[in-house]
Amino acid sequence: MAERLVTFEQDGVIGTVTLRRPEKFNALDIPMLRALEAALDKAELAEGVRVVLISGEGKGFCAGGDVEAWAQLSAADFQVQWVRYGHRVFDRLARLRQPTIAVLSGHALGGGLELAAACDFRVAETQIKLGFPETSIGVVPGWSGTQRAVRRFGAQTVRRMAIGGEVLLANEALALGVVDRVVETGKALGEAKAWGEKIAERGPLATEAAKLMIGIAEGEEDAAATEALASGFIALTDDLKAGVGAFKARHKPGFSRS
């Protein structure tokens, strides 16, 4: 059942993760979050996938967190099971090794916009709406809407949505840098695939390294990213081969700084 809630499909160099709960406009509950995390693991490990698209089945990209799923939780469970687990899954998306594109063929509200913000790029259809409506029901954005979204879209834009209650149309979002491209209704998936194929023509290791370095500068990535970059460099050197060979042969290595 969980595998049907969020699916992963590969078409050449493009991988597509699709939320499949259209009757709820792809609203997220715990089973959906678990399925999303599993699909992202598949995407990262899929051989040959260089760009990952995140899309939603039906009329909505993602309506955010399912109110019915969290409204009955205790304060402690809301904090740990809902907010912290949601952060873990969204961080997993933000730190995926491949570049990611959110395919906004339907509205992205609340947690849905936070999900889109965790992607590297966003393609929106002209009819969609974006916003953070949480304060209208007495809660706050809890899956990085006041953190990652501020870093990526700017504090004032997030203030307008989260505090002022503004809902942005696609072209308004484009002008504010919330989305990167706007296309006609029904064209977002095709545009995202074409863009993804252009990205995939670039050096995959260089692209992944650039994503990591930008993440470090942005504050998205932490010290682990620096160690990953350094370790990847070291893994290509003759010194590593000499050191490992010497360890196996039980003699002193002859390093050459090459």
pLDDT for 3 equals 62
Q: Which residues of the chain have pLDDT under 70?
A: 1-3, 73, 80, 240, 243
Residue 134 designated active-site:
yes
User: What pLDDT is attached to residue 239?
Assistant: 74
Is the dihedral angle over the CA atoms 56, 31, 37, 149 positive or is it negative? positive
Superfamily of domain 2-200: 2-enoyl-CoA Hydratase; Chain A, domain 1 (3.90.226.10)
Among the options 57, 125, 134, 191, which is catalytic?
A: 134
Give pLDDT, residue 180: 98
> For the chain, which residues make up each domain, given as ranges?
2-200, 204-249
Confidence (pTM):
0.91
- Which residue among 57, 114, 125, 221 is the active-site one? 114
pLDDT of residue 1: 53
pLDDT for residue 219:
84
**Predicted local confidence at residue 244, as pLDDT:** 72
Active site residue 37: no
